[in-house]
Amino acid sequence: MPIPAPNEPVPAKAGGPAGGLPAVDGGGAAAVTGGATVTTAATVATAAAPSAGSGGGGAAASPPKVRPPGTMASLAAAMRSWRTASVVLLQFSSGLPLGLVWIAIPDWMRKIGVDIRVVGLITLAQAPWTFKFLWSPFMDRFAPPFLGRRRGWAALAQVALCALTLALAGVGGHPDTPWVVAALALAIAFASASQDIALDAYAVDVLRPDEQAVAGGARTAVYRMAMVVAGGVAITAAGRFSWPVVNCGLALLYLPMLALTWKAPEPAGLPPAPRTLRAAVWLPFVGFLARRRALEILVFVMLYRLTDNLAQSLQRPFLVEMGYSDFDRGFALSTIGLAGTLTGVFLGGAATAPLGLSRALWIFGALQAFSNLGYVVLANLGHADRLVMYGAIGFETLGAGLGMGALSVLLLRMTQKRFSATQYALFSSIFGLPRLLAGPICGFAVDAMGWTRFFWFAILAGLPALLLLSRFAPWGAREPAFEIEEAPAAARLRRLPPRALAGRAALGALAGGAAAAFVAALLPALKAMRAAPGHPPRPFDLAAPLRALAAPAAAGDWLTLLGIAAFAAVCGLLAAAIAAARHGAGRELAGD
């Protein structure tokens, strides 16, 4: 489907989930053959060719070609679009609760004398952001009675966030109420994760392809700015005024966000929502996996920023060990690093328009890997050099931001509008997996190989993603190819029965659960091996952490079990969906 001009209305898609011809981006046409949707360039050429009479006198005059707007004209129009502005500005509402729960509340609780063990338990309130894909199908299936399926959920979440943040103001300054604060922080995190689901889906639904480049990076930049406001700025303001005053101020910031949600444009021409909750859980997996190289794309999303995750996981301990002062580290990470990240994510998203998304992913993927060379230089200096350190931090955060901005546009492109809440929540959770695992693993890697070899290893960790990128977005292609996988004719005729799908789901869940349990036990087992001062190293023992997993005692243990169960459930759904897609299921959905 051609990209509409900035003021041209988007045509509605015809047909439901199993009928009609789905629109196909990139100028292709959709032909239905044996229940599968296949994109063919020949269909487009045939449809576009002018009809000619046999004698030359009956030829119909072809309409004059309308020249599409250039890249810079499209970018300028996207920046002036109310759709783009709404999507970008609403991210401020998403970043506020994250900064409050991740940064401000732990600092506040420790400042008023709450026990550090209790503060550590309060940080478990961050769990809803990790597990938000569990209830995203509910938000795909059902819609509030006002403001539509996306804006309605976002408005409800914003009202809840305003009320809960005001409730925090009522317990401010009371060290005897940490559990009330913990409960409120958990409720804020749940409302915030639900808002993220709705706003991410809204961005997928409302943005046109020529607007995604500007909005993709700008959304992340505004999100990070809001985190700084609710985190570092809030802590500073609380020192001057008080936490009740600061929390009241943060709560009031949701009111203009609510007004913006009310006035934001409603997406037009969307495919119908899933008819049942079961379909809202199952069809997003089958619809995506019906695309060619879908699994490779998912692995690419997980690995693309691995090089950055490895380098940044021990960034602060590295600077401490290199001898830099508190002021130097704070200025480098909070000022230079923040400026580099915000600049990078905005430019990285916007650059996908002139470069093309495929080439932007290649360039910024290589750049974010080689930006770790600055840390190699720091590790080999032999002394603390402030200017070199500032340059290394700026270069690395700029490169990481460029990669993040390009990847954010890819996530928007690869998400289907019919299931935008579920798919985007799942993609963002996959995207965050390496960040969760990097810290503990990197500590042992540095201990074994030293800082210089570790950063060289982090640079090489960027190569697998680029190899995967060549599979669906080669260097010569301007845009990634999200083609529909053509199943063999015999497989299309022999759809798998529910019992066979259930068996594959059980095997996938068993394998995923076992792998997750192994990783969850491996990290504490490796940690226990480290020698305490004055004691010999301990032998590797995996059995003890596995026994601890089987007998959870603390809240963190139960949260680990929940994570293992959720990962196993996703692996089971993936295994069943892969089998169904290979037998022809989901072809009628893959073009949405």
Summarised one tens digit per residue, pLDDT across range 526-539 is 766 665 555 566 67
Decide if pLDDT at 297 tops 50: yes
Predicted pLDDT of residue 20: 35
In the prediction, which pLDDT does 97 show?
A: 92
d(CA 114, CA 105): 11
Higher pLDDT: 50 or 524? It is 524
Answer whether 368's CB lies under 8 Å from 400's CB: yes
The reported pLDDT for the residue numbered 431 is 76
Phi, psi of 7 (to 5 degrees): -105, 10
Candidate from 53-57, 197-201, 436-440, 514-518 with smallest mean pLDDT? 53-57
pLDDT band at 276 (very low <50, low <70, confident <90, very high): confident
The rounded distance, in Å, linking the Cα atoms of 233 and 239 is 10
- Of 330, 361, 335, nearest to 348 (Cα)? 361
The residue behind tokens 């309308």 is 66
Contact 274, 139 (CB under 8 A): no
Cβ–Cβ < 8 Å for 559, 520:
no
Closest-CA residue to 396 (of 464, 310, 337): 337
Long-range contacts of 247-251 (CB under 8 A, 24+ apart): 247/165, 247/166, 247/168, 247/169, 247/172, 248/166, 248/169, 250/96, 250/100, 250/165, 251/161, 251/162, 251/163, 251/165, 251/166, 251/169
Mean pLDDT of 233-255: 88
**pLDDT band of 52, cuts 50, 70, 90:** very low
Q: What digits encode the pLDDT tens for the residues 179-205? A: 788 888 889 999 999 999 999 999 988
Instruction: Provide the pLDDT confidence category of residue 161 given band limits of 50, 70 and 90.
Output: very high
pLDDT band, very low/low/confident/very high, at 53 (cuts 50, 70, 90): very low
Q: Which pLDDT score is estimated for 8?
A: 38
Bridge-partner residues for 39, per DSSP?
A: 30
Whether the per-residue pLDDT at 227 is higher than 60: the answer is yes
| The two three-digit tokens of residue 353, written as one number | 């328009």
- d(CA 77, CA 267) in angstroms, rounded, equals 18
* Mean pLDDT, all residues of the chain: 77
Q: What is the pTM of this model?
A: 0.73
Give 309-344 pLDDT, tens digit per residue: 888 877 888 888 888 887 888 888 878 888 888 889
What domains are there in the chain, each with its CATH number? 79-277 (1.20.1250.20), 291-478 (1.20.1250.20), 498-582 (no CATH)
Query: Measured between alpha carbons, how far is 78 from 348 in angstroms, rounded to an integer?
Result: 16
The pLDDT assigned to 172 comes to 64
Q: How crowded is residue 241: how many other Cβ atoms within 10 Å of its Cβ?
A: 12
What local confidence, expressed as pLDDT, does residue 585 receive?
Answer: 66
Residue 21, pLDDT score: 30
Q: How confident is the model at residue 365, as a pLDDT? A: 92
The predicted-structure confidence for 358-374, as pLDDT tens digits, reads as follows 999 999 999 999 999 98
User: What letter does residue 33 receive in the DSSP assignment?
Assistant: E
What tokens were used for 479?
């845009």
Say how many C-beta atoms besides its own lie within 10 A of residue 442's C-beta.
21
Q: If pLDDT is split at 50, 70 and 90, which confidence band does 27 have?
A: very low
Q: Are 566 and 134 in contact (CB under 8 A)?
A: yes
Please tell me the predicted confidence (pLDDT) of residue 42. 39
User: The tokens of 578 are what?
Assistant: 């892969």
Using a 10 angstrom Cβ sphere, with 0-12 exposed, 13-18 middle and 19 or more buried, the burial of residue 11 is exposed
C-alpha–C-alpha distance, residues 194 and 134, integer Å: 11
Cα–Cα distance, 287 to 494 (Å, whole number) = 18
The whole-number pLDDT of residue 80 equals 72
